[in-house]
Amino acid sequence: MTTLKNLLNPRSVAVIGASEDQTKFGGRLYKTLLQHQYAGEVYPINPARESLFGLKTFPSIDATPQAPDMVVMALPRDKVKESITACAARGAKAGIIITSKFSDEGAQGLALEREVVAAAQAHGMRLIGPNCLGLISPTNKLVLCSSPALNVPSLIEAPIGFISQSGALMGTLFDRSYGMGIGFSHCVSVGNQADLELCDFIEFLIEDERTQVITSYVEGIKSPERFVDLARRARAAGKPWLMVKAGASDDGRRAAYSHTASLAGDFAALKAICARENVIMMDDPLNMLSLARAMVRYPNRRVRDVAILTTSGGGGAISADQLSSSGIGLARFHDATRAALAEHYSEGQASNPVDIGGRKSDATPKLGMLTSEIALADAATDLALMVLTTAPDVPAFTRQLADGAERPAAGGKPTLYVMLPGRVAEPARQMLVERGLPYVDTLAEGTAILRAWKSWSLYEAPDAPQRPAGMAPLQAPGEGLFGEAASKAWLASAGIPVNQERLVKSAAEAVAAADDVGYPMVLKIVSPDIAHKSDVGGVVLNIADAQELRARVETMQARVSREAPQARIEGYSLQKQESGELELLVGARRDPQFGAQVVVGAGGVLVELLEDVAVMPAPIDAASARRAVQALKIAPLLGAYRGRGALDLDAVVDAVVRLSWLAHDLEGSQERGGATDFEIEINPLKVRLAGQGVVAVDARARLGNA
């Protein structure tokens, strides 16, 4: 059986379109393949030449001594199918198609791409691409990539695997990484993923004994369920998976029936899955590779609290500010550490951050080494952030810090160097490269790396979700748009508290029914065409008596007719006015790729203003729901302050869990041929004082493609 392990370590490679012309894809690729000392057989295919760079050429794939394991080509699009058909018939096991303008250019290109894949699959041949830049495998000394970034003396091998959906980005990052001393086990550009796709290569890296950290640049995920399974397998294998995802805003802000869908768009759904499985999402791919290098240098190290060692008091202050704003704590040195530092530093300078410029006049010349050793030896320190500024002999001082970090007392703890100077720090950067020590050039880069490292370090595997006691599986009540009354009745059946309500058709009916509801009350318009009632004057609070109620109904009717003349008005809802100390939004939706999701965040009129939400896969366990709520920006409002007691966090968590199970049940009904899509939203969920519960005072739902 041919595996990816075999395909990425082929015994022979045919280069179709091989050339000595370095202005051509085939020429550059062929030269770099030879340059990096690939040990297998190379078959250059070129009918116009007898030899290229000293190797015998072949006029066609049929003329090679044996079927090549791997074929790579950069041909005009209209010749690709013919060439793949010939290669597959010859017995080639795999092919790389550099050529673009297939599915990346529309329906006609997609149709041709499918024909190419079918031609390969007819003979069991696998394909990478099209529209890719090939692969770089330092581990196998195999370079099948035309990027000029490969024109280097030798490859740097390191246990970092990188899978990219962008070929140009792969080449660029290889170039930048090379200069920083960052190497790889394998780099693969997957392009259009017409056959072999992202998940195939992630699986290979999980199984590859020469890869310790997995990195990826992702534009789209073809196999969501497999993606989740691989994330769990990577975690079980002890291999961190770092990812940069393009298109954070794609479809995430589209118009929706509720706020829930716009706030929990496709990117947010992926982010929620990654958070659950500890796939670390980052914004910048070079920072991702720098973190990977640090994780390889310091395997299985957890980073929470940091010691800052700097040659500048200002640099230390700015560093502390940036770490604090990113949720990264400063290590609180123990008394013994402060006492040891105080022997060499002026009063007040022996705490974190440590300004090495604050040394005593008679301090040892090896103070950098000593300070690094002392700070890292403290049990409270997980990592030392070395912030270097322009100073006399930056290289020598950087070396001192590195030497101290490698002394036995430092315990092998991680270091990260921030090299703020320009040219004067170049020798120091080179020294760090030679010693395999991670560095960056800005505090922003260092902070982003530490934030991601801490996120990975603090991961807690979620508990198995438990359905609330007494909550039976719920069936979808059919497709359509469901107004407030129907939605709240459905929520109530799931055990989520809702307020009392009466529906009326006119002002006269409202006055007659008011005593059953009780004053003060809330009046709302009832219309399937009005999603956000307050936008058109469709909500009135604090109605005190019958006279005001009659006037409010008439005023509302006139305003809604003016603001939304096409809306169908089904009547008016009279509701008991419920009090609460805080308003939350709790919602659920079905993501097209990752299924049921539940959302919680700031509610009421603050939804659009704050966009403060947490998105979680459904169903969710209570502990994970609690952590998500407590991570919201508005979470401090749930606690006690200014004489007001704490709010009922337990009731909030219970509502989130129940709605997550309702979403899960809808997902299950879809699998049985039920609704194809759904959105549910409670806004607001009023939160009362601890022990007094929560109550949903407005809700809406959409089931199916209504």
Secondary structure of 341-377 as H, E, C letters: HHCCECCCCCCCCEEHHHECCCCCCCHHHHHHHHHHH
Q: What is the pLDDT of residue 531?
A: 74
Q: What is the mean pLDDT of the chain?
A: 91
Q: What is the pLDDT of residue 25?
A: 87
Q: Catalogue the E-assigned strands of 553-634.
A: 571-576, 582-591, 595-602, 613-617
**pLDDT more than 90, % of the chain:** 70
Instruction: Answer whether residue 443 shows pLDDT above 50.
Output: yes
Instruction: Answer whether residue 184 shows pLDDT above 80.
Output: yes
Tell me which residue of 685, 687, 599 sits closest to 639, measured CA to CA: 687
Q: What is the pLDDT of residue 200?
A: 97
Q: What is the pLDDT of residue 614?
A: 93
Side chain identity at residue 201, one-letter code = F
pLDDT in tens, 570-594: 888 898 888 899 999 999 999 988 9
In angstroms, rounded to a whole number, what is the distance separating the alpha carbons of residues 78 and 83?
10
Of 173-182, 249-258, 268-277, 555-564, minimum mean pLDDT range: 249-258
What is the pLDDT averaged over residues 97-121?
A: 93
pLDDT in tens, 452-465: 999 999 999 999 99
The residue among 2 and 176 whose pLDDT is bigger is 176
In angstroms, rounded to a whole number, what is the distance separating the alpha carbons of residues 247 and 268?
11
Task: Give this prediction's pTM.
Answer: 0.90
**pLDDT more than 70, % of the chain:** 95
Instruction: Answer whether residue 627 shows pLDDT above 50.
Output: yes
Spelled out in words, what is the top-level CATH class assigned to the domain 582-703?
A: alpha beta
Instruction: Answer whether residue 352 shows pLDDT above 70.
Output: yes
pLDDT in tens, 372-390: 999 999 999 999 999 999 9
Instruction: Answer whether residue 706 shows pLDDT above 90.
Output: no
Q: What is the pLDDT of residue 439?
A: 97
User: To 10 degrees, the CA torsion angle through 126, 127, 128, 134?
Assistant: 100
Q: What is the pLDDT of residue 387?
A: 96
Spelled out in words, what is the top-level CATH class assigned to the domain 303-457?
A: alpha beta
**Confidence band (pLDDT; 50, 70, 90) for 536?**
confident
Instruction: Answer whether residue 607 shows pLDDT above 70.
Output: no
The residue among 538 and 93 whose pLDDT is bigger is 93
Instruction: Answer whether residue 605 shows pLDDT above 90.
Output: no
Q: What is the pLDDT of residue 258?
A: 44
DSSP string, 28-59: HHHHHHHHTT--SEEEEE-TT-SEETTEEPBS
**Confidence band (pLDDT; 50, 70, 90) for 626?**
very high
What is the pLDDT averaged over residues 482-510?
A: 89
Tell me which residue of 185, 133, 141, 139 sits closest to 40, measured CA to CA: 141
Instruction: Answer whether residue 106 shows pLDDT above 90.
Output: no
Contacts of 268 (CB under 8 A, 6+ apart): 252, 597, 613, 615
Give the helix ranges, DSSP H, for 244-312.
Answer: 259-263, 266-277, 285-297
Instruction: Answer whether residue 364 shows pLDDT above 90.
Output: no
Contacts of 366 (CB under 8 A, 6+ apart): 400
pLDDT in tens, 16-58: 999 999 989 889 999 999 999 999 999 999 999 999 999 999 9
Instruction: Answer whether residue 253 shows pLDDT above 50.
Output: no
**Confidence band (pLDDT; 50, 70, 90) for 255?**
very low
In angstroms, rounded to a whole number, what is the distance separating the alpha carbons of residues 435 and 614?
41
Q: Looking at the DSSP assignment, which residues form a beta bridge with residue 71?
A: 14, 95
Place of tokens 């058909």: 85
What is the pLDDT averaged over residues 134-149?
A: 95
In angstroms, rounded to a whole number, what is the distance separating the alpha carbons of residues 256 and 262?
6
Q: What is the pLDDT of residue 669?
A: 62
What is the pLDDT averaged over residues 223-239?
A: 96
In angstroms, rounded to a whole number, what is the distance separating the alpha carbons of residues 547 and 618?
46
Spelled out in words, what is the top-level CATH class assigned to the domain 501-576?
A: alpha beta
Structural domain spans, the chain: 4-211, 303-457, 501-576, 582-703
**One fold for 4-211 and 501-576:** no
Which CATH fold would you assign to the domain 4-211? Rossmann fold (3.40.50)
Q: Looking at the DSSP assignment, which residues form a beta bridge with residue 526?
A: 571
Instruction: Answer whether residue 259 shows pLDDT above 50.
Output: no
The two beta strands, 305-310 and 329-330, are parallel
Of 222-231, 481-490, 524-533, minimum mean pLDDT range: 524-533
Q: Looking at the DSSP assignment, which residues form a beta bridge with residue 591?
A: 595
CB 43 within 8 A of CB 62: no
Instruction: Answer whether residue 221 shows pLDDT above 80.
Output: yes
In angstroms, rounded to a whole number, what is the distance separating the alpha carbons of residues 297 and 562?
67
